[in-house]
């Protein structure tokens, strides 16, 4: 009894599956069309749209020397001064490569207040490092920042000049108290003994030299550029994923349309008192 029932169920399932297959075969042109047209369009668009390279990096604000000037070389101020970079600004910033630069985004990192985050999308990867240098140079030449850099550097140069003069005077004095003739005269008590240790003057000369060298090596700029990381957008994996998803959606859409049309035909046939076309059930 059970065996007979199971055989009937299997036979009924086979008939149903065969009917479904007949519906798909009957409307195969519609199914293939719905499947291939979107798939071909997405594939063509994916491979025809220019693929841009993306560079991401940061500009760190400089550590300014002691100054009575309120600093304008800060990350929030730089972002405010630059604003949104449009096509006209791109020509000014990227003199030689403006055509290769698609877009530039400048913002403040969420976890930092002394860095400027920069994203550059370009047609080729080789122009991105130079693009970051061009951006830093553009920031350096913004009137407000350029003026402060010049002012601070002038103060630094003036301080270096005074330190050089002090070192020169210290060396002259050191030469005088270590002169052989003066030393002999001191020994003969022809002049009063000067209570100064030459070693102190030598140490002072070394300290002044170090301070001068440090000031000469540290010139104020608009910031320090970190090497950008360059990634490819979109990647091949993303294109393949897009094509596979489109193919699956198109296939399911085609199957749905085919059975929906078959359902409409059956409704029309029943209204006319006939049977659904190619329906043996």
**Domain residue extents for the chain:** 52-147+222-233, 148-217
* Residue 234 preceded by cis peptide, ω within 30: yes
Q: In this structure, are strands 229-233 and 115-122 parallel, antiparallel, or unpaired? A: unpaired
Cα(101)–Cα(86) distance, integer angstroms: 11
Would you list the DSSP string of 81-95? HH-S--HHHHHHH-T
pLDDT for position 9: 46
Cα(267)–Cα(276) distance, integer angstroms: 8
Question: Is residue 43 within 8 Å of residue 236, measured between CB atoms?
Answer: no
Place of tokens 């059975």: 259
273 φψ region: left (φ > 0), alpha (ψ -120 to 50), beta (else): left
Percent over 70 (pLDDT), the chain: 78
How much is the CA Rg of the chain, to the nearest whole Å? 40
Reported as a single tens digit per residue, the pLDDT across 127-150 is: 889 999 999 888 888 888 888 888
- What tokens were used for 197? 């240790």
Reported as a single tens digit per residue, the pLDDT across 12-56 is: 545 577 788 888 888 889 989 999 999 999 888 877 777 788 889
- What tokens were used for 168? 């020169």
Backbone φ and ψ for 185, nearest 5 degrees, come out as -65, -35
Cα(264)–Cα(267) distance, integer angstroms: 5
| Average pLDDT, rounded, for the chain | 79
pTM exceeding 0.85: no
| Whether the predicted pLDDT of 242 surpasses 70 | yes
* Helix H or strand E segment including 10: helix 2-26
* Helix H or strand E segment including 105: strand 101-107
Helix axes of 2-26 and 236-271: crossing angle, nearest 10 degrees: 100
Q: Which CATH architecture has domain 52-147+222-233?
A: 2-Layer Sandwich (3.30)
pLDDT for position 235: 52
């Amino acid at each position: 009894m059970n065996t007979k029932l199971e055989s009937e169920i299997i036979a009924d399932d086979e008939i149903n599956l065969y009917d479904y297959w007949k519906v798909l075969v009957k409307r195969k042109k519609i199914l293939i069309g719905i499947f291939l047209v979107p798939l071909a369009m997405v594939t063509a668009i994916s491979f025809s749209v220019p693929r841009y390279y993306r560079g991401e990096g940061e500009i760190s604000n400089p550590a300014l020397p002691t100054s009575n000037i309120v600093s304008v070389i800060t990350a929030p101020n730089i972002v405010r001064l630059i604003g949104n970079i449009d096509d006209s600004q791109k020509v000014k910033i990227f003199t030689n490569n403006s055509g290769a630069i698609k877009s530039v985004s400048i913002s403040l990192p969420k976890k930092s207040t002394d860095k400027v985050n920069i994203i550059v999308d370009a047609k080729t990867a080789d122009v991105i490092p130079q693009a970051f240098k061009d951006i830093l140079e553009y920031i350096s030449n913004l009137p407000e920042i350029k003026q402060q850099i010049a002012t601070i550097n002038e103060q630094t140069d003036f301080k270096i000049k005074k330190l050089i003069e002090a070192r020169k005077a210290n060396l002259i004095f050191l030469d005088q108290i270590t002169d052989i003739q003066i030393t002999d005269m001191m020994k003969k008590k022809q002049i009063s003994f000067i209570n100064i240790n030459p070693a102190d003057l030598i140490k002072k000369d070394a300290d002044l030299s170090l301070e001068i060298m440090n000031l000469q090596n540290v010139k104020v700029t608009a910031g320090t550029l970190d090497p950008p990381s360059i990634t490819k957008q979109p990647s091949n994996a993303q294109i393949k994923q897009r094509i596979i998803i489109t193919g699956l959606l198109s296939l399911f859409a085609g199957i749905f349309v085919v059975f929906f049309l078959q359902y409409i035909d059956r409704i029309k046939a029943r209204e006319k008192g006939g049977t659904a076309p190619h329906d043996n059930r």
